[in-house]
Amino acid sequence: MLDKKDLITPEACCSSYQIELSFIQSLNEYGLINIISVEEKEFIQHTELQLLEKFIRLHYDLGINLEGIDAIGHLLLKMKDMQDEITLLKDTLQLWNEQADTPE
Protein backbone atom coordinates (compact mmCIF):
# COMPACT_ATOMS: atom_id res chain seq x y z
CA MET A 1 0.00 0.00 0.00
CA LEU A 2 1.36 3.39 -0.95
CA ASP A 3 1.71 6.00 1.74
CA LYS A 4 1.01 9.52 0.51
CA LYS A 5 3.99 10.84 2.47
CA ASP A 6 6.20 8.77 0.15
CA LEU A 7 4.78 10.55 -2.91
CA ILE A 8 5.55 13.91 -4.48
CA THR A 9 3.77 15.63 -7.33
CA PRO A 10 5.68 16.27 -10.55
CA GLU A 11 4.91 19.97 -10.09
CA ALA A 12 6.53 19.98 -6.64
CA CYS A 13 9.61 18.28 -8.15
CA CYS A 14 9.77 20.96 -10.82
CA SER A 15 9.57 23.68 -8.21
CA SER A 16 12.17 22.05 -5.98
CA TYR A 17 14.66 21.21 -8.73
CA GLN A 18 13.83 24.25 -10.88
CA ILE A 19 13.14 22.16 -13.98
CA GLU A 20 10.41 22.02 -16.61
CA LEU A 21 7.39 19.74 -16.15
CA SER A 22 7.85 18.59 -19.75
CA PHE A 23 11.24 17.10 -18.77
CA ILE A 24 9.63 14.89 -16.11
CA GLN A 25 6.83 13.94 -18.51
CA SER A 26 9.39 13.00 -21.17
CA LEU A 27 11.33 10.85 -18.70
CA ASN A 28 8.07 9.08 -17.89
CA GLU A 29 7.29 8.58 -21.61
CA TYR A 30 10.74 7.05 -22.13
CA GLY A 31 10.09 4.73 -19.18
CA LEU A 32 13.01 6.15 -17.21
CA ILE A 33 10.90 7.19 -14.22
CA ASN A 34 7.40 6.18 -13.21
CA ILE A 35 4.61 8.61 -12.65
CA ILE A 36 1.76 6.89 -10.83
CA SER A 37 -1.86 7.91 -10.42
CA VAL A 38 -3.49 7.95 -7.01
CA GLU A 39 -7.04 9.20 -6.71
CA GLU A 40 -6.78 10.73 -10.19
CA LYS A 41 -3.67 12.74 -9.28
CA GLU A 42 -0.16 12.12 -10.58
CA PHE A 43 2.75 11.42 -8.25
CA ILE A 44 6.37 10.34 -8.24
CA GLN A 45 7.51 7.97 -5.51
CA HIS A 46 10.34 9.21 -3.29
CA THR A 47 12.30 6.09 -4.27
CA GLU A 48 12.49 7.52 -7.82
CA LEU A 49 13.99 10.85 -6.75
CA GLN A 50 17.61 9.69 -6.70
CA LEU A 51 17.25 8.47 -10.28
CA LEU A 52 15.45 11.66 -11.26
CA GLU A 53 18.34 13.69 -9.83
CA LYS A 54 20.81 11.72 -11.96
CA PHE A 55 18.79 12.45 -15.08
CA ILE A 56 18.50 16.13 -14.14
CA ARG A 57 22.30 16.38 -13.84
CA LEU A 58 22.82 14.58 -17.14
CA HIS A 59 20.39 16.84 -18.97
CA TYR A 60 20.80 20.23 -17.36
CA ASP A 61 24.45 20.11 -16.25
CA LEU A 62 25.93 18.05 -19.07
CA GLY A 63 23.51 18.92 -21.87
CA ILE A 64 22.64 15.32 -22.74
CA ASN A 65 19.42 14.98 -24.72
CA LEU A 66 16.62 12.57 -23.84
CA GLU A 67 17.78 9.93 -26.31
CA GLY A 68 21.22 9.96 -24.65
CA ILE A 69 19.67 9.82 -21.20
CA ASP A 70 17.56 6.86 -22.35
CA ALA A 71 20.69 5.01 -23.52
CA ILE A 72 22.55 5.85 -20.31
CA GLY A 73 19.57 4.82 -18.19
CA HIS A 74 19.41 1.41 -19.84
CA LEU A 75 23.17 0.94 -19.46
CA LEU A 76 22.96 1.84 -15.77
CA LEU A 77 20.15 -0.69 -15.32
CA LYS A 78 22.21 -3.39 -17.07
CA MET A 79 25.21 -2.55 -14.88
CA LYS A 80 23.09 -2.87 -11.74
CA ASP A 81 21.74 -6.23 -12.93
CA MET A 82 25.28 -7.40 -13.63
CA GLN A 83 26.49 -6.22 -10.21
CA ASP A 84 23.62 -8.09 -8.56
CA GLU A 85 24.52 -11.22 -10.51
CA ILE A 86 28.20 -10.91 -9.56
CA THR A 87 27.24 -10.58 -5.89
CA LEU A 88 25.05 -13.68 -6.16
CA LEU A 89 27.83 -15.65 -7.86
CA LYS A 90 30.38 -14.55 -5.24
CA ASP A 91 28.04 -15.60 -2.44
CA THR A 92 27.44 -18.96 -4.10
CA LEU A 93 31.16 -19.51 -4.62
CA GLN A 94 31.88 -18.61 -1.00
CA LEU A 95 29.23 -21.07 0.15
CA TRP A 96 30.74 -23.85 -1.99
CA ASN A 97 34.21 -23.07 -0.66
CA GLU A 98 32.96 -23.19 2.92
CA GLN A 99 31.25 -26.53 2.25
CA ALA A 100 34.42 -27.91 0.66
CA ASP A 101 36.47 -26.84 3.70
CA THR A 102 34.25 -28.58 6.25
CA PRO A 103 35.15 -32.21 6.98
CA GLU A 104 32.44 -34.82 6.62
Q: What average pLDDT does the segment 13-34 reach?
A: 94
The enclosing H or E element of 78 equals: helix 66-101
Give the pLDDT confidence of 37-70 residue by residue, as tens digits: 888 899 999 999 999 999 999 999 999 999 999 9
User: From residue 13, how far is each of 20, 50, 74, 101 by CA, in Å?
Assistant: 9, 12, 23, 54
Fold of the domain built from segment(s) 4-101 = Multidrug-efflux Transporter Regulator; Chain: A; Domain 2 (1.10.1660)
